[in-house]
Each structure stands twice: as structure tokens, then as C-alpha cells.
Chains A and B, each alone.
Chain A
Amino acid sequence: MGKWTRRAFVSAGVIAGGAVVFGIAIRPGNRADKVRGMIATDDESVFNVWVKLSPDNTVTAIIPHAEMGQGVHTTLAMMLADEMDADWDKVKMLEAPANKEYANYALAKGFAAGDVDFPAFLVDTVDGFFLTVMKAMNMQITGGSMSVPTTGQIGMRVAGAATRAVLLEAAADTWNVPASELRASKGQIIHERSSRSAPFADFAVKAAELPLPAKPRLKTPDEYTIMGTDVQRFDVPAKVDGSAAFGIDASLPGMKYASVMASPVFGTAVRSVDDSSIQDMPGIRRVVNLGDAVAVVADGYWQARKALDRLEIEFERNGSEAIEQSDIFSQFATDMDAATAAGNEISDFAQGDAMSALASAGQVVEAEYRVPYLSHAPMEPMNCTAWMHDGICELWTGTQNPLGFAAEVADALELDIEDVVLHNAYLGGGFGRRAFPDYTIQAAKIAAEVPYPVKLIWSREEDMRHDHYRQASISRFRAALDSDGNPTAWVNQYVEKHDPKEAPYIPYAIDNQYIHYAESKTHVPWGFWRSVDHSLHAFFTESFIDELAFAAGKDPYQYRHDLLEDAPRFRDVLDLAAEKANWDSPLPDNWGRGIAIHKSFGTIVAQVVEVEIVDGKVIPRRAICAVDAGFAMHPDGMRAQMESGIVYGLTAALYSDISIRRGAVAQGNFDDYPMLRMNESPDIETYIINSGEKVGGAGEPGTPAIAPALVNAIFDATGKRIRELPVRLHDLSDINLESKDVA
């Protein structure tokens, strides 16, 4: 085996039980701590994409990402199959096992090939994407809308094209014709001059002996036969008949059930547990004090839950129990003022001289916005089944980060990483929540105390009160307008920055800009929430630009359009949304129309919302969405993700409010954290632009622009500008719609 170049693509084919497996890997150059334990020595590599070609010509794509409803398994398989020219009807998908059998080279060998010796065909090429790719692929993390742009574009397509290339070469050799005379189509290799054709599988064994090209030519969009089409998703049939297994559906012989309650005030510990009150309850097995939480293990979940409710638990106090939501917003405001006063604000973006432009401006517009904490509330509450046996900890759960979870559990239980085996299931919603391993660690700790498998299920209340929350924030703006109403300066200050950096940036041509923030830590745990910082900043910036249009006396669509002259890609998306919405057409009484545009994860989305105000209640009636993700690999999947992002964003904008009361989350279930339902869900139309630009994500970009489009529509309908979410906190019942001030 040759010495592998650090950070090189490595490709190889192995023969395994009649099938041939081709692998493409990326050499981990710079490993994150979390995966360090996964890789035993420096000479080992992580395999990312496997393609298995079986004797019956079936192609199995082995995919390192979790399916949480975004269709990623299907889309990634499409990308591979298209480059390979495989027969789509014979393409299958397998989710890569989430442990070192997959991540560790030596064991990967065993996983794919049994005990077959590894014929190492090494191709080293160096490419520029390692870090991003490593984060998204090697660590098997699903999030950031990056599966298609990274794993798909760099892994699956390259693997497919490289496999196709060696199959063609093997056929050319077998038939003794030049490879240039061959073509591949639907799993067949065809030599037209001699009217010969044969399935891929006929050449697989020979192909396995050939070195895979490291940089095979990828198709151009006009050559795609599968990408860009509306194939049916792999996971749908099992999701209509109840057979799809989620984490919560794990079942093991002798399994018991656990219910848990963590200290309601974040960061406090259990002081005492008195279990005398549950002594006589049937089916109770064990009370486990986890330090910051208490679990009851019983024969059935219901028994465990009832006992937990009756258990007397006292928690320590650490001062946080005095904190109210209003204190948090006051702290934000104080820290923002202090940062400005001390001149130690943190600059996010600066160009020109915004402060001087403001000072000399004829017209200055100011506004302050607020957003609350948000919970993810996926339909499937957090859960994990754990079993300690034979020195290993086996876990069944749904996670966006299987390798990271295994590493965290190993750390918490002081086990070797090899002794933690995690089986990933379908995720009943992720949205960022299932990237945090707290529930898995709890289950493992409980399992460590008992000799049987335990299924830990969080109640909805526990799920909502112990989430990792989208941050609350305040954002303040000042803008200068010239005599034509065009902005000449844009100054924005906000609190609590996370990711991605560019979330507060605007696409508009404004010469002088200063965007900065202040830190203001709270005791509330933060987490990635669908689209992360974009979810708040799009609301801030796209509401404020609407206010500027109003101050300038201009139409909000036209105002944006004019400011996007130098950003043609944005402009095209904006124009398409406005055109499809018939922007200038009149609306019935009590209706309003709003627009917003935002780019996130490489994808530009513009949305128009039409609302009706009925007895002071806002009802979104119609949402029109234009999206440019470069190229929509699976257009129906793209539409589904836009629909999903819109409903998720509308739910948050209209209703969602996690507030802190006495240091703890006040809300607990869908009665006080309400959801948008069928009767309030708008008609949604999605229009796709394939601009040919770099491919962007789909799972998150549908969410950010919908909140500002909604409040802009409410303003259009009522003349009332909503600057604090959610909308339901505002009383619109006394708005006199007749006398509204039409912008």
C-alpha cells in the first residue's frame, strides 16, 4: 500500500461477494476533536462515498447523511446515478452505518469487502474543498443545507463519474475497441459500430482492477438525464403505511421505558429526590439521579411518566431562577448601549463612511426590532434507546450527527469510541435540534445503571423546555435617505451573533454601511434553528428596507428592484416572485401584500405573501416563492422544501414565542406554543430558476424571507408596522382598515 498523500482524494475498487464496491474518500487533513477518536492512526483514511454494483446490475449508493424529510437520500442517489448513467429503476440507497465501521479505513475495508485484501488504487489529487467537505461528509453531519452542495457535488457526482469511467475502460478492453467509441446509458454500455451492448455488471470485476480517475469529467446540465427530474422519493412509501421506523420505534427484547425531568432552570442541579411517593406504583423499576435530571424507569412509558409526575424532586438554586424575559431584553439593550458608548462594538461589515453620511443626511429613518427565543418542536420528541451489554453501549436514535453523538457518549461514559455503536433511524423532524446529543447522553447514562435496554422518551414539555433555542435578539437600524429617497447610509446594530457570518448582510447597493453587534450572554442554551441567524436577520433587514421604501414614498418591490441593479441574480429572483404574484393587481378589502428577498446557504429566495385580516386575526392566504439554487437537482423536492420552509417560518412569525419566566421556559406544549394548522396554511406556489450558478441548499433557504414578507403584507393591509415577533402579541382588532395609510 502506497503512502497516501495528506488531504488527497483516494479512490479504490474492491470485490465483495460478487458485487464490486467503488469508494471515494477524502483524507482528513484537519480533524475536529469530535472525530479524532474515530480514526486510529494517521495512515488511515475516512471513506465517504461508496458505490456498490451488484451482479444483477443494481447500483447501491451508500450515503453518509440522515434522512429527516428533506429527501436527501433520493437527491444524493440521483446525483450519483446520473453521472454514472445508471438505470434509475435499479438504484437503491443505504445509509452509511454511523460508527467507525464506516469512518475508519481499516474497518471500512471489512465492512465493504469482508476479509478481501484491499487492492489499493491510489490516486492523489488535491482539491480545495476539504474543510467544508470534511465537516459535512466525514463527520456525517446533516445540516446547513450542505448535503447537496458538498456531499452531492463533490462526493456523489465524482464517485458516479469515476465509476462510469472505469466501467467504460473495462468494456473497451473486453471488446477490444477504443473507449471513445463507447457510451453508457441506463446501466448499459453500448458500442454502436458493432451493435453490442452489455450491462455494467458484466465489466465490474475488471473495472475494479483499474485505477479510478480522480478528476473525472462531470456532466454539463444539458447532459443530465436524472438530475433535474421529478423522481419519487425512496422514503415515501414507508411513510404512508406506518412502517417507517423512527428513533422512537426501536424495539428490543426485555426493553424498559424511561421518562425524564431535567432541572427546569438551565444550569441547576438536583438537590434531592424523594421516591417514597411512588413506592406503591406498579411497574416501577428504578429512579436514576443524573445530577441535573431525574429519570424513572418502568415497564411501560405511561407508568414511568406518571411516577415521574408524582416524584418529589428538589433542585438547587443558582440565581438564574430570578430571570424574567423582560430582564433579558433589558440586558440586551443595556449591552448594546454600553458597546456603543465604549466604542467596543464588534464590526461585522463596513464600507464607506456610514456615520458621516448619517450625520449629514436630509432624512434619517430609525427602527428597532425584536425577536423571541424559538424552540424547534419537531413532531417526534427527543428519544433514544440505549443498551449497555458486553462492555459496549449500543444506541438507537435519530440524529443529524451520528459520529459526533457516538463520540459524546463515549466521552460521557468514559468508553472507547469503538465501544459505542449508534444505529440511526429516520428523524421525525430535525431542524437543527437533532444535532445536540443531550438526550442520547441521558439515555446512555440511564442504561449504564440497569441490565436491560431502556427507551428514553422525552415528554413534549421536556422537549420544549430543554431545547437549544434560536436566540432572542434586538436589532437597531438607522438609515440616511437622499432627496430622491434612495438610501445613502445603512447602520445596523444587533445582539447575539452566531452563524453564518453573512446573515445580516444586504444585497442592496448602499454606499455607506456599518453593521456591528454586541455580545450579551444569557443562561439560555443556544442551538441551530432552521436557517440559523438568517431566521432573524432577514426579518430585521427586509422589514427595514420596506420601511425605507415607505419613507421614500415608493413601492416596496420597485424600491428593492432599483437597489439591485448591480445584483442581477437577486433581481431576477425578485422580479419573478413579483410577476407571478401579479404584484400590481388590486386586492380585496382587508387584504395586504408584502415582499422580501434573502440569500442563505447559496440560494436566493424571494417571497410574496398575501394576508387577510379577519377580526384582527392575520390569515396568510397565498405565498409565492421564487428560488434560485443554481440548479434544482430534484425540482419537486425543492418545491417541497420551500413549502416546508414557508410553513415553518410562518408558524414562528405568527405564533412562536419561547419566553423565560423565573429562569425557566414558560411554554410546554402545543397549547401554549401553537402551530400553524391546515386551516391557516396558505396556498403556496414555487417557481424555480436554474441560473447555473454554484449549487446551493434547499432545506433552510425557504424560511428566512417569509417573516418579513408577512409583516410587510400586514403593513400593507393595516398601516401597522410590526417590529416585534410573534405577530400574535399585537392587537390588530382595533385597526381601522378603512383609514389605513396606504404606502
Chain B
Amino acid sequence: MITLNINGETHDLELDPATPLLWVIREQIGLIGTKFGCGIAQCGVCTVHLDGTPIRSCVTPVRAAEGRKITTIEGIRSEGGLHPVQQAWIDEQVPQCGYCQSGQVMSAVALLEANPAPTDADIDAAMSGNICRCGTYPRIRKGIKRAALAMKDAAKGEETANG
């Protein structure tokens, strides 16, 4: 038996420990926001966070995720509503077909958590593992910059409130 912690919930599962995490999330847990695109860590549509780090769940055996915190697109909403990256995605009207966007959002969230003020080169480095066949790259770039500003403003607001 394998115990997984996904978006703060614990799941006990009976399955082959070599099964890629992607299929467990989609089929056993029923969270469909994480997608299948290539199966060989080339496209990024299956991106989830493992202890806050973005990984490709299509090539990550479920046993490697045991005992760690798994976060999917369904788990990044904050108490107050959308994550700033999600709000920026709406403001910039980023998605087209939308299929890659869970992965894009997960990569962007991880980037901004590690680096609150990314340069264009930082964005290139963090986001080039995520293919968007609809070509929303220019808007993703704008969305990340907008979210970075929003997160900075929110942090400032908090400081003021606390100080």
C-alpha cells in the first residue's frame, strides 16, 4: 500500500509503485487538471509540485512521491480565492485551448515562489519545459510579470498591516 499526500489530503492506495504519479492523480484520485501530453518529460502538461518543486508527473513513479507533499493545479488556490498567477492569467487572457495551462500555471507558481522578481532570462529558463501548441508564450510572459507585481504588492500590504 502507498500513502500519498495530495493537496493536503491523505490517500491510501493499492497499486503498482512503478505507476507514474500522473495516472494515479488522474485515475485513482480523480483530479483531472493535471494532463497527459507526451509521457517522456518533454511537454510539461503534467507538471505538479513535489515539496514545492515542479516535476513531470508522467515520468515520476508514484513510489518517489510517497511521504512528500504533492500539489496539483487544484491545490494552489489560496483561502482568498485564485492564486495571483491564476488571476494574472485571466487578466492577460492567456489560455487558448487551455490544455497546457495547468502545467504552465504550476511552473509559473514555482518560479515566483523561488524568485519573486524574475528577469526574462529567468522566465525562459523556468518555462521552457512547458510547450504551448497554441503559442500563448507572449501572454504567459506578461502574466508572470503581472503576477510578480501583484504578489509584491500583496506582500507589501501584509508588511504594512503587520507593522
Contacts and interface: CB of A to CB of B under 8 A. Distances in A.
A242 B32 contact: yes
B99 A644 contact: no
B97 A428 contact: yes
B128 A457 contact: no
Interface stretch (A219-227, A233-241, A330-338): A233-241
A384 B90 CA distance: 29
A678 B130 contact: yes
Contacts of B125: 679
B70 interface: no
A429 B133 contact: yes
B157 interface: no
Given A282-B16, A636-B93, A678-B127, A69 B98 contact: yes
A427 B97 contact: yes
A419 interface: no
Nearest to B140: A678
A300 B14 CA distance: 13
B95 to A, nearest CB: 4
B56 to A, nearest CB: 12
B85 to A, nearest CB: 8
B106 to A, nearest CB: 9
A286 to B, nearest CB: 18
Interface string B91-105: 001111111111001
A643 B38 contact: no
B50 to A, nearest CB: 17
B33 interface: yes
B135 A648 contact: yes
Contacts of B124: 678-679
Contacts of B100: 379
Contact of A378 (B32, B86, B129, B133): B133
A670 interface: yes
Q: Which of A241, A381, A647, A651 has the most CB of B within 10 A?
A: A241
A85 B129 CA distance: 45
Interface string B75-93: 0010000100010011001
Contacts of A243: 33
A301 B42 CA distance: 19
A531 to B, nearest CB: 14
Contacts of B105: 240
B1 interface: no
B97 A429 contact: yes
A148 to B, nearest CB: 16
B93 A669 contact: no
B42 A669 contact: yes
B136 A677 contact: no
B104 to A, nearest CB: 9
A248 B36 contact: yes
B97 A378 contact: yes
A129 interface: no
Grouping DSSP codes into helix (H, G, I), strand (E, B) and loop, the A interface class, with mixed when no group exceeds half, is: loop
Contacts of B99: 246, 378-380, 428-429
A382 to B, nearest CB: 12
A677 B90 contact: no
Grouping DSSP codes into helix (H, G, I), strand (E, B) and loop, the B interface class, with mixed when no group exceeds half, is: loop
B141 A678 contact: yes
Contacts of B131: 379, 670, 675, 677
A314 B132 CA distance: 36
Interface in B97-139: 97-102, 105, 123-125, 127-139
A233 B136 CA distance: 15
A561 B40 CA distance: 48
Contact of A240 (B20, B35, B36, B89): B89
A671 interface: yes
Interface in A357-399: 377-381
Contact of B37 (A300, A379, A640): A379
Interface string B26-53: 0100111111111110110100000000
Nearest to B131: A675
Interface in A7-21: none
Contacts, number: 173
A422 interface: no
Q: Which of B16, B123, B129, B134 has the most CB of A within 10 A?
A: B134
A68 interface: yes
A88 to B, nearest CB: 16
A640 B139 contact: yes
Nearest to B22: A302
Contact of B32 (A70, A245, A669): A245
B27 A301 contact: yes
Contact of A241 (B16, B19, B77, B93): B77
A691 interface: no
Contacts of A671: 40, 42
Given A244-B98, A380-B37, A669-B40, A236 B135 contact: no
A431 B82 CA distance: 31
Q: Which of A248, A251, A302, A378 has the most CB of B within 10 A?
A: A302
Contact of B101 (A232, A240, A257, A457): A240
Contacts of A659: none
A688 interface: no
B97 A670 contact: no
A242 B127 contact: no
B66 interface: no
A684 interface: yes
Interface in A241-262: 241-246, 248-249, 251, 257
A428 B102 CA distance: 12
Contacts of B135: 643-648, 651, 676, 681
Given A644-B96, A648-B133, A678-B124, A379 B45 contact: yes
A289 to B, nearest CB: 24
Contacts of A377: 133
Contacts of A640: 93, 96, 136, 139
Contacts of A238: 98
B102 A242 contact: yes
B153 interface: no
A257 B22 CA distance: 14
9 contacts: A233-B93, A240-B82, A245-B32, A429-B99, A431-B133, A636-B93, A647-B135, A670-B43, A677-B131
Interface of B: 15-16, 19-20, 23, 27, 30-40, 42-43, 45, 72-74, 77, 82, 86, 89-90, 93-102, 105, 123-125, 127-141
The 8 A-B residue pairs whose C-beta atoms are closest, nearest first, are A242-B33, A647-B135, A428-B99, A239-B98, A69-B96, A69-B97, A242-B73, A681-B137
Given A232-B93, A460-B37, A679-B125, 14 more contacts: A235-B95, A241-B73, A242-B73, A300-B19, A379-B132, A380-B37, A430-B97, A643-B139, A647-B134, A647-B135, A671-B42, A675-B131, A677-B127, A677-B128
